[in-house]
Each structure stands twice: as C-alpha cells, then as structure tokens.
Structure 1
Amino acid sequence: MTTRIIPPPRHAATVFAGAAGLVLWALHFTAIYAITAFACERGREDALLFGLPWVPVMIGLATLAILLPLALVLRFTLRGLGRPVVEGGETEPRFTLWFTAATSFYAVAAVLLQAAPAMVLPACGVGY
C-alpha cells in the first residue's frame, strides 16, 4: 500500500479559509439589510415575485446562495481533519482546520438565525 504525502497548505489559503465563514456571514447580513432597505425605501414591501412576496423570496435566495459556499468550506475542512498530519509549514495544522470548521459552523447557524425572522416578519415594520 502506497502512502500519499499531502503537501502542507499555503499560508494565504489557510488564512482565507479561516475567515471564509465570517466573511460569508457578513455578506449575508449585508444582503438582507440591502433587500429590506430597498423594499422599504421604494415602497415595494408588498410586491410579488412569481406570485410570492418579493422580500422573503429574495432573502431565501440570498440565504441559499450563501449556504452553498459555507457547506463547501465545511466539507473540505472536515475532510482535512480526517487526514494524517503533515508537519512542515504550519505550527498547529489541526488548530487551523478546527478553527475554520468552527467559524464555518457558527456562520451557518448565524445565517439561519438571521434569515428566519427576516423571512417571517414584515420587511418595514408596523406603522412605517
């Protein structure tokens, strides 16, 4: 049986992967804010898109668009945690993989928790 040696990750890729979950979460928050601000500013909170309320549909699409890359980051990170540790280039290779997985998991939870009320509650509030 041949053992395959996995090259150590590049430092820039490690940093970007660790921050990916937090950046995607921030992008989702920005998208929700922009969608609701546009709907309220233009008076389009009751508009329909394909027979469905416009704001919840757009927030749902934004949520799906962010959950896909988050799932990919989680998949590759969890796969990397199962590999043998290759020393060299990184002082704590398991920590960076664990940190990336943890931030991505927390970002998934945050995206779902901020999308749920944004899809259920009125976009512009009552009386605005």
Structure 2
Amino acid sequence: MLIAPVDSPEYQVAIERMQRRIWRNDAVFAEGSVGVLEGEVSEKRNHCMVLAKYIVKDWQGAQDHDGNALPYDEAIGVSMLESDLEFFLFVIRSAESFAKQVQEERKETLEKPSPASSGKASGQGRKPQSAS
C-alpha cells in the first residue's frame, strides 16, 4: 500500500478545513439542541474522504467480490475506510509511522557533520597544488 505521511500539507489543510466546517455547522444550533443541516455528513465520513484523497495513494492485493484485482479508486477507498474500522486505523497508524520515519531521517541528515570544504561549491577541501 502506498501511503502519504500524516503531516503532508494537503492532508493537514483538508483536516483543518473539515474541522472549521463542523464548528461552523455546530454554531447554528443553540446550546443543548442537536440537529443536522441539509447535506451534512458525519465527521467520520469527512475524515474517510480526506484519508482516501490525501493519504491512501495506491494499493495492491485488494480484490472485488469475484476475486478480481481492484485498482485504487478514491470512492472505493472512502467506502472501505468507512466500513472497515481495522483498515481505517491501519491507514492512520501507517501514515503516522511514515511521518515519524521521515522526521527521523530528516533529523539524522541534519545532524550529520558536513565534510570539510575549502569554501567552494565543489566538494571537500583540498590543498592548493603547486605550479611546479
């Protein structure tokens, strides 16, 4: 399965936008009252849509009811994420794990000492060669 990290900018923006929409919709109702606005979908469905669009990029091994290979499709991804809690949790955990791995690799790269250089843009420092 090809998964993007949970800290990808697109995913973060989409999640923030989803949360703002939910808060705006909630503000319509007085405290203590509940309701649903026309066209409103659950927070879980919203999250599944965001995961299917920005986190799950591709998969292999998924099959339809007849055993045929099922190529990744965003709508199918949403449906599977909504209906299968284990898959939903797997995707979130995998995306979190991938984000941590990328952060650790970035940290290791930044902490590595730079090779000595002469100040030129071309590699390690060298002693000037004599003209003789």
Normalising to structure 2: TM-score of the pair? Answer: 0.29
- The structure, 1 or 2, with the larger RCO (C-alpha pairs under 8 Å, 6+ apart) is 1
- Looking at CA atoms only, which structure, 1 or 2, has the larger radius of gyration? 2
Looking at secondary structure, tell me which structure has more helix per residue.
Answer: 1
